[in-house]
């Protein structure tokens, strides 16, 4: 076969296979047998192998996998993947409906969708081709799993038609159908491996496999439920998703429009029982306001949209025996009791442990050794004890009393007035607290020291190579190379081997060195001062500019900073009054860790916007997040929605029309990006 004929045949086979693939995996309407499909696929693969110059990463042949991903790159989401607010009763749903109606004066409709129990994914398409697939992660950063996503046959590599946007983002849920899950666990049992707890965990684990060929064998599926693009064809959610089906996306046929709360409740009641007849898991229903302009009017909270809510089906509850209670010590010294239970099947997984949270919970439950307890999953994720199965008591049970001394170091526990938690005050010599502080220090949102996760810090501590966060900067190649240890997982009984190979050591030492460039606000967060989270650390850093100013600040100076209350101020004073903490900071400074703002940051920062609140809308000459940072650095506050208390709406190109209208109605000042810079210079 000559080259020209081969190329035409390859193109013909690709088009034919894409069509069959769509009919089988998206429409569930196959027109040829699996055998005939495989014959066509093998013919295509043979032709592509014989003519490598015609390779196309978007060919149907690439779905079989084979590429190996050694490391999943972390990527920042262009638009944060927010979580939905949850509700568990029709009363809470009615309250959501009332809040919505209070804001929206005109008639509106809801869209109801199944809440798939899987792994959220965000996929970008450029010129109709799959460009990038990123996991939800923490909502801001996720992992690039593009290679693995391409093996999922219900996800189009090339869009159908020609009327799709040049660039668009679509979000969906990667799921493992029950048949695939059962087959996978059967194979694991045959190979003497621990089975997956549920399809959700199996899907999550499959997405992070390094060999895409193995991912292809897992038979994952995907439903899409949200489009993001400045130029969508319709001004509402429902019609855009219907259009997405025309482009080749798998959108649930069970999505419906509802004109009233009663319609929504009828939909929920139907699926509360009918969900067991599906071939995949769902854990609730998602309710969204359909119209985009009405969505804009409703706006967002810091964590979730006000125009959508998730109704979670009532959690399954089972009775099982309490075997014992462990007491865990966190990095702040907080003591958390954890119940060890007789293994029981609950919502698709085996439960052996459940948190009891604190002493008050144990007391309120009137918990006794030998009790049978009712367990359910909070949000069908985290097991928790709801109550005692009183009918199973036989009189031999003995009352459970909360411990008085730290289970790790023996120090007498303390409890601050007004708090429910008991604490171990021995924070500098209690092993779990020390290890917890180190793990917090190296975490991604703090110093982001890559390579030191997965039990490695615990190994270094146990080997007496580190005893505090400053010791990390004294580690050398010969301290690390060749170390290894076994780490066991209490929940599933698995044992992992931690080994420090040459590349591992190199990555750790590079991560430690690079952490010296970490910005002051993140270093401040990394110190682990109680109650000082990311936002508070940023406020303190930009207000005081360096660690010396912060350490010398009085109580009055601290509470004068926005969002710093008495409890936080007292915690900061207590932290810096301890010579041990001061000594650690001095050691870190000596190693080159940054404890002051960069000159550019310090120069740019001011208090000229103190007391002013801003909302930004549109496209600007700089990234929107950079503009928000500029507001915060100069004392201003970013808000998520417009109210009469908002001082300024900063508009760029293509601002939200509803935001502008609302600002006008509330007499909020509307300014351009240039006006904002003038505001900075003139105030």
Q: Which residues are tagged catalytic?
A: 115
Nearest-angstrom CA–CA distance, 146 and 121: 10
Calpha distance 601→326 (Å, rounded)? 47
Q: Cα angle at 137 between 136 and 139, to 5 degrees?
A: 65
Q: Evaluate the CA torsion angle 153, 159, 161, 164 in order and state its sign.
A: positive
User: What is the strand order of the sheet 167-175 is part of?
Assistant: 129-135, 119-126, 167-175, 221-228
- DSSP-based three-state secondary structure for 197: coil
Rounded CA gap, 407 and 326, in Å? 9
**47/440 Cα distance (integer angstroms):** 53
DSSP 3-state of 620: coil
**β-bridge mates for residue 374, sequence order:** 319, 387
How far apart, in whole angstroms, are the C-alpha atoms of residue 496 and residue 473? 27
Q: Can you tell me the distance from the alpha carbon of 193 to that of 414, in angstroms, rounded to the nearest whole number?
A: 44
CA dihedral 272, 276, 281, 283 (to 10 degrees): 20
Tell me the C-alpha distance between 203 and 118, whole Å: 7
Separation CA 468–CA 461 (nearest Å): 9
Rounded Cα distance, 239 and 235, in Å: 8
Task: Establish how many alpha carbons lie within 13 A of residue 373's alpha carbon, considering only the half-sphere containing its beta carbon.
Answer: 32
As a whole number of angstroms, the distance between CA 422 and CA 314 comes to 32
Q: How many CB atoms lie within 10 A of CB 210?
A: 14
Q: What is the DSSP string of 225-278?
A: EEEE-TT-SSSBHHHHHHHHHHTT--B-TT-EEESSHHHHHHHHHHHHHHGGGS
Q: Is residue 572 exposed (0-12), middle (13-18) or buried (19+ Cβ within 10 Å)?
A: buried
Q: Phi, psi at residue 506, to the nearest 5°?
A: -60, -45
CA–CA dist 417, 440 (Å, integer): 26
């Amino acid at each position: 076969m000559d080259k020209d004929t081969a190329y035409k045949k390859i193109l013909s086979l690709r088009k034919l296979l894409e069509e069959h693939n769509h009919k089988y995996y998206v429409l569930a309407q196959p027109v040829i047998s699996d055998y005939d499909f495989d014959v066509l696929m093998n013919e295509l693969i043979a032709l592509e192998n014989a003519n490598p110059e015609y390779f196309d990463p978007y060919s149907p042949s690439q779905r079989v996998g084979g590429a190996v991903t050694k490391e999943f790159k972390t990527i920042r989401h262009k638009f944060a993947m927010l979580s939905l607010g949850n509700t568990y009763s029709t009363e809470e749903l009615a309250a959501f409906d009332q809040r919505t109606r209070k804001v929206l004066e005109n008639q509106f409709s809801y869209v109801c969708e199944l809440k798939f129990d899987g792994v959220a994914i965000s996929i970008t398409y450029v010129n109709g081709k799959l460009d990038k697939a990123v996991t939800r992660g923490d909502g801001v950063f996720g992992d690039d799993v593009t290679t693995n996503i391409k093996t999922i046959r219900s996800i189009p590599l090339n869009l159908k038609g020609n009327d799709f946007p040049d660039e668009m983002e679509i979000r969906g849920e990667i799921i493992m159908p029950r048949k695939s899950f059962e087959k996978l666990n059967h194979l694991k049992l045959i190979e003497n491996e621990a089975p997956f707890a549920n399809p959700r965990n199996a899907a999550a684990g499959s997405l992070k496999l390094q060999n895409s060929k193995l991912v292809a064998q897992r038979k994952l599926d995907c439903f899409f439920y949200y489009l993001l693009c400045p130029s969508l064809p319709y001004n509402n959610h429902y019609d855009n998703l219907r259009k997405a089906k025309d482009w080749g996306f798998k959108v649930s046929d069970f999505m419906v429009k509802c004109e009233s709360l009663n319609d929504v409740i009828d939909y929920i009641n139907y699926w509360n029982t009918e969900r067991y007849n599906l071939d995949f898991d769902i854990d609730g229903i998602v309710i969204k306001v359909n119209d985009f302009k009405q969505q804009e009017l409703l706006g967002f909270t810091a964590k979730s949209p006000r125009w959508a809510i998730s109704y979670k089906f009532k959690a399954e509850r089972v009775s099982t025996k309490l075997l014992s209670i462990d007491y865990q010590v966190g990095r702040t010294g907080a003591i958390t009791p954890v119940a060890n239970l007789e293994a029981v099947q609950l919502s698709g997984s085996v439960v052996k442990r459940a948190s009891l949270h604190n002493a008050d919970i144990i007391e309120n439950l009137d918990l006794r050794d030998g009790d049978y307890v009712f367990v359910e999953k909070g949000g069908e994720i985290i097991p928790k004890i709801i109550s005692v199965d009183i009918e199973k008591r036989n009189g031999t049970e003995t009352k459970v009393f909360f411990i008085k001394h730290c289970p790790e170091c023996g120090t007498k526990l303390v409890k601050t007035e007004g708090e429910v938690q008991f604490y171990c005050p021995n924070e500098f010599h209690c092993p779990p607290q020390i290890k917890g502080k180190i793990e917090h220090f190296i975490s991604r949102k703090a110093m982001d020291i890559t390579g030191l996760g997965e039990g490695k810090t615990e190994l270094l501590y146990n080997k007496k190579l580190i005893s505090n966060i400053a010791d990390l900067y004294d580690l050398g190649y010969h301290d690390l190379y060749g170390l290894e240890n076994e780490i066991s997982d209490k929940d599933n009984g698995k044992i992992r081997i931690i080994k420090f190979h040459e590349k591992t050591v190199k990555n750790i030492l590079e991560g430690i060195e690079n952490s010296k460039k970490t910005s002051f606000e993140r270093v401040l967060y990394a110190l682990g001062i109680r109650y000082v989270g990311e936002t508070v650390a940023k406020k303190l850093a930009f207000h005081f500019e360096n660690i010396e100013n912060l350490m010398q600040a009085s109580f009055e100076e601290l509470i004068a900073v926005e969002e710093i209350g008495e409890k936080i101020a007292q915690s900061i004073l207590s932290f810096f009054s301890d010579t041990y903490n001061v000594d650690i900071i001095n050691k870190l400074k000596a190693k080159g860790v940054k404890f002051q703002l960069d000159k550019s940051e310090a120069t740019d920062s001011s208090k000229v916007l103190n007391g002013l609140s801003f909302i930004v809308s549109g496209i600007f000459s700089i990234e929107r997040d950079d503009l928000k940072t500029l507001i915060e650095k100069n004392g201003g506050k970013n808000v998520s929605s417009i109210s009469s208390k908002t001082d300024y709406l900063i508009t760029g190109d293509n601002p939200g029309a509803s935001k502008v209208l609302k600002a006008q109605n509330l007499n909020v000042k509307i300014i351009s990006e240039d006006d904002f810079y003038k505001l900075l210079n003139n105030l």
